[in-house]
Structure 1
Amino acid sequence: MRFDLKFFLKDTIRKMVDFSTTPQNRGFVAPPLQEPYPPGAPLLALPGPAGGWPGIADVPLAKAMAARRSRRVFTEAALTPEELGFLLWATQGLRKASGPAGFRTVPSAGCRHSLETYLAVFRVAGVAPGLYRYLPIEHALLPEGEVENLAAAVSRAAFDQRFVARGAATFFWTTVPERMEWRYAEASYKVIALDAGHVCQNLYLACEAIGAGTCAVAAYDQEACDELLGVDGDREFTIYLAPVGKVAAGATGGES
C-alpha cells in the first residue's frame, strides 16, 4: 500500500494543531538545551571561538560556497583539535544561552534546536579513537566509549558505504523531538528535518576553511545507527550523518 508522504513536505499540519494544548502553552518547563550527562564525567575541552580560531583560514563566504562539493575521498591526515572544535562550533556552537532557548550558529524553528551531535573519531590529534558526544554548552567532547572495529561498525550502519568510515571523523546527528514538540506539537517533524539541513550545510562551508571535505548521508540503517550511538530509537534517534576528512589539493568528489 502506498501512502501520500508528500504531506510531510507541506505545512498543512499547522492548521490542524491546537497550539493551546502544547506543553509550552500548558505551562510545562522546556526540555534542556542538551542531553544531560553523568556528574563528574571526564570531558575533553575543545579550542573555542574566544581565541579567534588561530590556524583556521579566513575564507571568504562566496569562495567557500563556490568551492563546496560532496567529497568521498579523503587523505590519511588527522584533524587538529582546533579544526575539530571549529567544525563543531560552526554546526552546533552555542552563541548565547537565554533561559530555555539557546542561540547557536545555525537557525532552528523557534530556537528549539532538537539535534545532538555524536562523533566517531578515527584520526584527530590528541583525541583517542572512539565515540563521543558534543556538548555545546561546555564546548567539549563527552566520551561515549570505545567500539570494537569502529570503522566497520560505522560503515555497516551506513549500509556498507565504506567512504563514510574513511575520513578523520564521522558526524552523526540525532534528534530529540521532545524539544521541538514542546512548542510545535505535531508540526515539529518537518522543521526538525529542515534544521538538520541547516547544520550540514554549515559543515560543508566550514570544511572549506580547513582543507577538508564532507558528504551528507541520508541513507543509513536506522536501527544499526541508533544502536551504535547508544540511543533508544524512540525518544532520541539518528537523523543524518556526514564523514569529514582532509582532501588532497585539487581533489573533487560527487557533485550534490
Structure 2
Amino acid sequence: MEKNQDVKNKIRSNREFMKSTFAKERHKSDQQKQLPQPPLTKAPMSNTAIKLSKEFSSLIKEPDYLKLVQERKTHRVYKNESITIDQLSFLLWTTQGIKEIRGNNYATVRPVPSAGARHAFETYLTVLNVEGLEKGIYHYLPMEHSLEFIKSVDELENKISDSLRGQTFAAKAAVVFFYSAVPYRCEWRFLLESHKLMLLDAGHVMQNLYLSSGAIGCGACAMAEFDQELVDNLLGLDGENEFIIYISPVGVI
C-alpha cells in the first residue's frame, strides 16, 4: 500500500510539473539579479574542426512540405547505406544551426523556437556510416557550423545499444543524434520554470529532425528511453551541468 501511495504522490507531483508557474513565481532569476549570462554555446573541446557546407538545394528529394507532414512517421528500419557529410550538415543546420546572433551575444536565432531564445541544447553524434567521417563520437559547433571529432570508441554499436537499453535497431542507423541539456543556459532567465520549457523546446528540435530527415530520403526515431548514466558516460558528460535528454537515430529508408 505504501508503494502504491508513493507512486500516486509521484504522479501528482509530475502533473504539477506540467503546469505553468509563471503567475506564482516569486524568486528572482539570475538574469533579474544581473548576474553574468552563461555562454550561448559550449566551447570547442578540440583544436580541429570539420567545416560543413550550407549548400543544401541539391540534397532535397521531397520538396513538398504538405507531403512531408502527411507522411511523417517514426522509422526503426534503415538500409545498410551511408549518408553524405552534406546530408548530415543539412540535418544539423535545420535542427540547431545559428541564423543570427542578437545583441552583444545575448541570444541566437535558430530554425527552431526556444523559450527566450535560450536554446539550451548541445548536439552530439555517434557517426556509424557517414561518407568521409571516421566512426566515433562528434560534437556540433553551431557558431561555426562545423563538427569536432571527440573520440573513437571500441564496439561503438554495442555501447549505443546498451545505453538505449537493448534497442539494437538504433545502432544500425547511419548516425545517432544525442541532444544534451545545459540547464543553466535556461535557468539563468527562467529559473524554476526553465526545466519544463527545455523539454518543450526539445520537441521542437525533434520535429525538425523528423521533417528534415524525410526531405532527404531518411528516417528518424525519437527515443526517450535510455540508461542515463551509460549514455552520459559514453559522451563524456558530467550528468549534472549537462546531460542527455533526447536521442534519435537517422538512417536511409
TM over 0.5: yes
Q: For 1:239, what is the secondary structure of its paired residue?
A: strand
Does the CA-based 8 Å contact 1:172-1:238 persist in structure 2? yes
Partner in structure 2 of residue 103 of structure 1: 109
Aligned mates of 1:170, 1:101 — CA distance in 2: 27
1:77 to 81, 89, 92: 81
Q: Which amino acid aligns with 2:61?
A: A
2:216 to 187, 204, 210: 210
Question: What is the TM-score when the length of structure 1 is the normalising length?
Answer: 0.91
Q: Which amino acid aligns with 1:63?
A: K
Q: Which amino acid aligns with 1:76?
A: N
2:23 to 11, 15, 22: 15
- Listed as ranges, the matches of 1:120-199 within 5 Å are 120-199=126-205
Aligned mates of 2:36, 2:81 — CA distance in 1: 45
Gaps of 5+ in 1: 248-256
Q: For 2:180, what is the secondary structure of its paired residue?
A: strand
Deviating beyond 6 angstroms after TM superposition, the runs of 4 or more aligned structure 1 residues are: none
Query: What's the CA shift for 1:52?
Result: 4.6
1:28 to 31, 35, 41: 35
How many residues were matched structurally? 242
Gaps of 5+ in 2: 1-5
Query: What's the CA shift for 1:142?
Result: 1.2
Q: Which amino acid aligns with 1:90?
A: T
Aligned mates of 1:123, 1:197 — CA distance in 2: 26
Aligned mates of 1:207, 1:187 — CA distance in 2: 31
Aligned mates of 2:236, 2:23 — CA distance in 1: 36
Does the CA-based 8 Å contact 1:79-1:124 persist in structure 2? yes
Does the CA-based 8 Å contact 2:178-2:246 persist in structure 1? yes
* Identity in percent: 40
Query: What's the CA shift for 1:47?
Result: 1.1
Query: What's the CA shift for 1:15?
Result: 2.9
Question: What is the TM-score when the length of structure 2 is the normalising length?
Answer: 0.93
